[in-house]
């Protein structure tokens, strides 16, 4: 999905960073510190995502962390 907000929370510093998926649904965070624990979540007004979030202990470059989106029904 494109234009989904991806939020990364650094549990060591309390700093939250965000990016947005591109046209193909890909996203990237640069310059993350190896050995830290991060919480990653996807946000959109029109979708809910599974899982709610990922708990990542970053030990190396991660090529893939995926979320599955389900369209919310609007009344």
Domain boundaries, the chain: 5-71
pTM of the model: 0.86
- What's residue 63's pLDDT? 63
Q: Are 32 and 12 in contact (CB under 8 A)?
A: no
- What's residue 64's pLDDT? 77
Per residue in 8-61, pLDDT (tens digit) is: 999 999 999 999 999 999 999 999 998 999 999 999 999 999 999 999 888 877
Of 74, 66, 46, whose CA–CA distance to 6 is shortest? Answer: 66
């Amino acid at each position: 999905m494109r234009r989904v907000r991806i939020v990364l929370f650094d549990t060591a510093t309390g700093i939250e960073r965000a990016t947005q998926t591109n046209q193909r649904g890909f996203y990237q965070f640069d310059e993350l510190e190896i050995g830290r624990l991060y919480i990653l979540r996807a946000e959109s007004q029109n979708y809910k995502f599974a899982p709610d979030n990922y708990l990542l202990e970053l030990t190396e470059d991660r090529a893939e962390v995926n979320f599955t989106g389900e369209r919310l029904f609007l009344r």
